[in-house]
Amino acid sequence: MVQTIKAKCLSPAELDELRQFSTCVTSSAIETFGVRLHNAGFADSRIRCQFKQLPPVVGYAATARIRSANPPMERHDYFYYDRVDWWNHILSIPAPRIVVIEDLDDKPGLGAFVGAVHAHILKALGCVALVTNGSVRDIPEIESTGFQLFASNVAVSHAYAHLFDFGGNVRVGGLDIAPGELVQGDLHGVQTVPLEIADKVPAAAREILKRRKRLMDLCRSADFSVEKLQELMTQEEKESTI
């Protein structure tokens, strides 16, 4: 069932700010707001970044669900690129967009729904990345486009990969994602950024980086001692609660 997207959107400048931080720093920043448990909001290690050299991506989720092991029940002559209805739905999501596809086969990833052609289509539709618990293929061709892939596997064939619905909630790597949610990904993995605090996350991230730097500078210093480390950590803890 397609959901109507009425999500709060960040300004282009705010999105640019979020892209400056790794998912690790952003995750730590989100924790300071107490809006979710520390073991929630990110995909587990089954979802792997395919192009680790690319910078972090940020975008709003355009969701879909697929199967690939068996032909679609309603069409046996299907052409799996021909989905104008899905493309128009993607355009209803605010840009930039990250496509999130849940593979519902018993063993996800037999066939890859996204390869070189789909990656070019999605990029033309304003998408910056794909997240899937299934497979991808045509890796070298996609890498040259700058379109990022987060997937559980790579595959030789598309098999019977077909999209059977879109615009609803999906689950990938243990992470529940609703259409329109803000998603961030990089070489470490994928997470959602709660929209109610997203505009405040960059400032919190900068503070975290400052605290990290003070601690690491001490560790590199010739004056390092356990006592000084404990003193600095106590000071940092006090400052973080002000």
Q: What is the pLDDT of residues 18-76, one digit of tens each?
A: 999 999 999 999 999 999 999 999 999 999 999 999 999 999 999 999 999 888 877 65
Lowest-confidence segment of 31-40, 72-81, 228-237 by average pLDDT: 72-81
Query: Strand 148-151 and strand 48-49: pairing?
Result: antiparallel
Asked whether residue 136 falls in the same domain as residue 215, the answer is no
Question: Looking at the domain assignment, is residue 71 inside a domain?
Answer: yes
In a domain, 7, yes or no: no
- pLDDT for 72 equals 81
- Number of structural domains found in the chain: 2
**Residue 89 Cα to chain centre, angstroms:** 19
Element (H, E) at 130: strand 127-132
Say yes or no: 30 and 93 in one domain: yes
CATH code assigned at 157 = 3.50.30.40
Q: Are residues 123 and 227 in the same domain?
A: no
In the numeric block, the tokens 């001692």 are attached to: 225
- Contact of 142 with 116, CB cutoff 8 Å: yes
Same domain, yes or no: 20 and 121:
yes
For position 7, what pLDDT does the model report?
A: 54
Does residue 49 belong to any structural domain of this protein? yes
Residue 116 and residue 214 in one domain? no
Pair 146, 219 in one domain = no
Instruction: Report the pLDDT value the prediction gives residue 4, as an integer from 0 to 100.
Output: 46
- Is residue 27 one of the residues assigned to a domain? yes
Same domain, 107 and 159: yes
Rounded Cα distance between 127 and 119, Å, is: 9
User: CA–CA separation, 50 vs 101, rounded Å?
Assistant: 16
- Do 228 and 115 have their domain in common? no
3-state helix, strand, coil in the chain (%, to 5): 30, 25, 45
Give domain status of residue 5, yes or no.
no
Q: How confident is the model at residue 80 (pLDDT cuts 50, 70, 90)?
A: low
Phi, psi of 203 (to 5 degrees): -65, -40
- Residue 189 within a domain: yes
Pair (180, 215) in one structural domain: no
pLDDT at position 129 is 98
Confidence (pTM): 0.91
Whether 126 and 190 share a structural domain: yes
Determine the structural domain holding residue 83 and report its residue range.
12-200
Residue 156, helix vs strand vs coil: coil
Q: Are 200 and 26 in contact (CB under 8 A)?
A: no
pLDDT of residue 241: 52
Same domain, yes or no: 218 and 172: no
Least confident residue range of 58-72, 79-93, 141-155, 167-181? 79-93
Q: Both 126 and 233 in a single domain?
A: no
